[in-house]
Amino acid sequence: MKRLLLVVLSYVLLVAPASTQPAIKGKVLVILSSTDAIALQGGKTYKTGYFLNELAVPVKRLKEQGYSVTFANPNGNKPTMDIHSDSVNFFNKNDIEYQKIKAFHDNLVELKSPHKLADVVQNGLAQYDAVFFPGGHAPMQDLISDPSVRQVLLHFHQTGKPTTLICHAPISLIAAMPQADAFVLAMKQGNPKKAAEFTKKWQYQGYKMTIFSTAEEQIAESGQLQGKMLFYPQAALKTAGGDVRVATPWSSQVVQDRELITGQNPFSDNALAETLVKAIEKKEGNKIRRE
């Protein structure tokens, strides 16, 4: 009897799958900011970074659906989480959901040592099925005009692969402009008319999109920011030529136009994650049918 049990056990160990995790179906590039603060009016600064739920909810959904993720940022340094986002308030005050996502986030070992974005670009972007930019105010400081972000956006735009951004992260789309630095400077100087002169070759002109609204930003200014933004992200995208759609403050909204998927605020996290996964699978399905 013991011998029979040993034979059965040996067979199970040989044929049983090594893991219950789904097979890897593809790869998604996740781009974060390298900064932990943004400049405000009057020489003030605001300590920030990425938002917990805006990063972890979509990444968790991607992993559950069989996609691996590669984290990258401009400096290849450990990204900072905005402490204001570490709250059950962004999970509809559902403590069980908050604890689940927080535990998932804390176990993302690869998040602590992301790749340098320029190296990722050099190693080739064709291997990635989509790109995702989590929110938080930080992209306003560096991703908005980063040259490597520009190369990433151009690749995903030209190939029509899902380009997904949430909350403040859609401001990163400005980096696709050949003269993004000049556009940003004009906006900081309060001169949108001048800024519009640098938008002629912006790939996303006319695209429907959303971003953290001016109404939401003004609420944040009187609350967590305790200061005034140098310019509003909604106004910047509109000046650039985007067809900006915003919903009632703090309501979930996701806008999809061609390869571009944008979410308005932290409460758009689940809807954005679902839209992203569907877009990747649709793109892959079309590719298989063509082949």
Is the confidence at residue 245, as pLDDT, over 70? yes
CA nearest neighbour of 90 among 59, 126, 136, 129 = 136
User: What pTM was computed for the model?
Assistant: 0.90
**Displacement of CA 205 from its chain's centroid (Å):** 20
Q: Which pLDDT score is estimated for 7?
A: 41
Q: Which CATH class is domain 21-290?
A: alpha beta
Average pLDDT over residues 270-290: 84
Domain boundaries in the chain? 21-290
Round to whole Å and give the CA distance between 102 and 88. Answer: 10
What was the pLDDT predicted at 5? 43
- The residue-averaged pLDDT of 97-119 equals 97
pLDDT at 42: 96
3-state secondary structure of 96: helix
Q: Would you state the structure tokens that stand for residue 75, as one six-digit string?
A: 């400096």
